[in-house]
Amino acid sequence: MPANRVTIKGSERIAPAAKQVGPADPNEITIVSLYLKREGSAAPGSLPVRGRDAVRDEREAPFASGIAKISAFASDHHLSVVASDPARRLVQLSGRVQDLEAAFGAKLHMFQHSGGVFRGRSGALTAPADVADAVEAVLGLDQRPIATPKLIRRKKAAAAKSYLPNAVTELYGFPAEPGQGNGECIALIELGGGVSNADTTAAFKAMKLAPPKIIPVSVGGASSQAGKDADADGEVALDVQVAGAGAPGATIAVYFAANTDQGFVDAITQAVHDTANKPSVMSISWGSAESGWTAQAVTAMTSAFQDAAEVGVSVFAASGDGLATDGVGDGKAHVDFPASSPWVVGCGGTRLAVSGAKLGAETVWKSNGGGTGGGISALFPVPAYQAGVKAPPPANKGAKPGRGVPDVAADADPDSGYQVVVDGKDEVIGGTSAAAPLWAGLFALANEAAGKAVGQPHGVLYANPAAFHDIVKGDNKAGKIGYSAAPGWDACTGLGTPIGAAIVNLFASAAKG
């Protein structure tokens, strides 16, 4: 390494678990996203809501210094600054692969896997010290897929039941009055798939609801492309139809991005700082085990979620469908990120029970080859809002206490699943990716009732366990690895499932002082 260059902290990558098929095209033009370090830090749950304009204004001056350093660096390496956004702390550089390799000390190769061919790398990135000290992450050189949608289709089961999405929200007591999320916008983050207007029309007709206003938003050139990926289409349909069932009056903005760490982080920062659609709630149904992320991508996404708290966006993410191992085959427990972020409300899954027309005693979801994710984070310490929780010891021997996942839960079992319309067909789908948009819909109602964006809600939720149906039966064990439900918070279903009106009233009352 030349004397004037240093390693960019957290950029280390292992080689992809895929077949290397040759070098990357040196003349391919690509765009990388550089996220600048934020000034100062705060504990999760401690930030007051300040709004998008205030955050943008205060970042103008500090951003100018960082962009000057990066602009000079780009010029020295035949790269161009193609976008900069002080609110997002984002600078995007464009150039040939060979110039990007020289700029960041990387060697890029092409790899083949079942989903196609992608560009990847191994080792750490480097840059001059002043640039490395200014940036939090450099994303986009490596384009390996980072996440999977957290949905599971129901296997054939004659005795299994299923429900229209608004029937589930009614069972959870979502209030129909005084509003239905009017004036609110829910952001959905999608790393594939597309919105089908025909599916939306058919689904909401079945629910006897007017279809919501849906706004597809392109991130980094990605777009809504229905009909190319059945699982991704199923995820988009599930998210739209469940969120819309919970808050029929809300607008739904769907942010489509590439399934890479760059695409994922860019989508979140774009949604958080979107001054046109102004979402107040975000639902994320994609993720992967913490162990599969680079430190710089985790840092950049965590900063984006801190931004969300500052501007008043409540974020909900699926806790995963691979039980306590999160589908990782190393014999250890893992939790899913971004649900494990302490700035995010992690959403676990239950099996719905209905007695007559009323909600019965739910149990932890574990069926159809999957089950709710949950456990103890290996990346994040115990946040203050979980200080009073009696968490079980980590399932991994010698592991330290950490942030517990999930925070809340909702119906996710395909055997008590959601009736949705996907690519023109009626399907029954479950997975924790149903729980996240359901909670997002509920918080659109809470924002409307409060008359403002409530922001990060963990403190209020953990202080009010009576606003939940406590889940006390079942487990998310994969073999012997995992956790069991218990009274109070547990690492399968968190605090429990919502008593809808009670949740809304908590935030409406808090807003009134």
DSSP assignment, residue 220? T
- CA nearest to 58, candidates 85, 78, 33, 86: 86
Edge to edge, the sheet with strand 90-96 lists 80-85, 90-96, 29-36, 135-139
Beta strands (DSSP E) in 17-98 are: 19-23, 29-36, 80-85, 90-96
Which residues on adjacent β-strands are paired with residue 30? 95
Please count the other Cβ atoms lying within 10 Å of the Cβ belonging to residue 439: 29
Distance of alpha carbon 399 from alpha carbon 391, whole angstroms: 13
Distance of alpha carbon 248 from alpha carbon 210, whole angstroms: 7
Which residues on adjacent β-strands are paired with residue 33? 92, 139
Give the CA distances from residue 133 to residues 66, 69, 79, 129, 408, in Å, rounded to whole numbers and listed in that order: 10, 10, 19, 6, 38
Task: Give the 3-state secondary structure of residue 343.
Answer: coil
**Pair 325, 371: CB distance under 8 Å:** no
- CA nearest to 10, candidates 260, 261, 257, 329: 261
User: 239, 290, 475, 490: which one is catalytic?
Assistant: 239
307 is catalytic: no
235 is catalytic: yes
Task: Give the 3-state secondary structure of residue 494.
Answer: strand
Distance of alpha carbon 421 from alpha carbon 395, whole angstroms: 38
Structure tokens at 421: 């319309």
User: 196, 283, 340, 433: which one is catalytic?
Assistant: 433
User: 101, 136, 190, 235: which one is catalytic?
Assistant: 235
Which residues on adjacent β-strands are paired with residue 120? 109
Residues whose CB falls within 8 Å of the CB of residue 221, separated by 6 or more in sequence, listed in order: none
Amino acid of residue 174: F
Which residues on adjacent β-strands are paired with residue 91? 34, 84
**Pair 439, 169: CB distance under 8 Å:** no
DSSP assignment, residue 122? -
Distance of alpha carbon 429 from alpha carbon 236, whole angstroms: 12
Residues whose CB falls within 8 Å of the CB of residue 151, separated by 6 or more in sequence, listed in order: 231, 234, 235, 238, 285, 321, 429, 430, 431, 433, 434
- CA nearest to 290, candidates 416, 378, 407: 378
Active site residues: 235, 239, 433
